[in-house]
Amino acid sequence: MPVLNELQEFAYKQADSMNILRILGYGLLLLAIFDIIEMFVPPGFMNPAWEFQTFGTLVERVPVPLIGLVLVFFGETYARNKWEFRILKFLSWLTLLFAVFFSLMIPLGVINTVRLTNASTTQINAVSQQQISQAEQVEKQLSQASPQQINNFLRSQGRSLNNQNPEEVKSKILSELSKAKEQIQTQAQANLSSQRTKLIKNSVKWNLGALVSAALFISLWKATHWARVYK
């Protein structure tokens, strides 16, 4: 019958299309494995910066294994080779493992955000305090300097008095140093604000991404129950 023949031909074509999609899925999973290996070589565990960045990279690249898994599981048991079912069972349980992994990464991401914020604050404050201390040392030296010492100081800076009153020059330099200290503090606060904003934005994006990823992997695990019970 023509209709039956057409249905059979359509079914064969569907099977061929499924095989292509499944092969593509396995390929994407292999590419995801290569990415994960590259991320963890060399490892930097206990380093909050490495952990935070690696966490973010994992979240941003999670669409590849998700799409790969969906393609591999597409069509359920239809037109499968026997050897595939062991792999499918393993991959089904792997989705649960990924869900747990991304769920556990959320509190770690928050902790590393706090640690990096504190480290950044300490570093920026240390650098700005060092610069301010240097400026204060110069202030102290200039405030006690004689006209000749002021002239020597200007020469060391590639300048000269140019018939100016040494005391006026001293006052001018001290005023510049005072402004410089204010600028150092202002710049330090700006750097702190910028670093905190960047860290918080990335933390929120990656933690929400991890939450969504965990939910998607759980959904895949539930949807692939057939792969775990198939005999």
Structural domain boundaries in the chain:
2-229
* DSSP per-residue codes, 23-42: HHHHHHHHHHHHHHHHHTSS
Question: Which pLDDT score, from 0 to 100, does residue 168 have?
Answer: 75
Question: Which pLDDT score, from 0 to 100, does residue 230 have?
Answer: 79
Instruction: Using only the alpha carbons of the chain, give its radius of gyration.
Output: 32
Question: Which pLDDT score, from 0 to 100, does residue 177 have?
Answer: 85
Question: Which pLDDT score, from 0 to 100, does residue 161 have?
Answer: 61
E strand residue ranges, 38-176: none
Question: Which pLDDT score, from 0 to 100, does residue 76 have?
Answer: 87
Under-70 pLDDT residues of the chain: 1-15, 151, 154, 157-164, 166, 231
The predicted-structure confidence for 131-151, as pLDDT tens digits, reads as follows 999 888 888 887 777 777 776
Q: Which residues contact 220 (CB under 8 A, 6 or more apart)?
A: 66, 69, 70, 73, 92, 95
Helix orientation angle between 2-39 and 63-73, rounded to the nearest 10 degrees: 150
Q: Give Cα 132 to chain centroid, integer Å.
A: 33
pTM comes to: 0.83
Look up residue 63 and give its two tokens.
């669409």
Do residues 137 and 109 lie in contact, with contact meaning Cβ atoms separated by under 8 Å? no
Question: Which pLDDT score, from 0 to 100, does residue 187 have?
Answer: 94
Q: Give Cα 164 to chain centroid, integer Å.
A: 56
C-alpha to C-alpha distance for 48 and 25, rounded to whole angstroms: 33
The predicted-structure confidence for 63-85, as pLDDT tens digits, reads as follows 999 999 999 999 888 878 888 89
State the distance between the two ends of the chain, measured CA to CA, in whole angstroms. 36
Question: Which pLDDT score, from 0 to 100, does residue 25 have?
Answer: 96
Question: Which pLDDT score, from 0 to 100, does residue 227 have?
Answer: 93
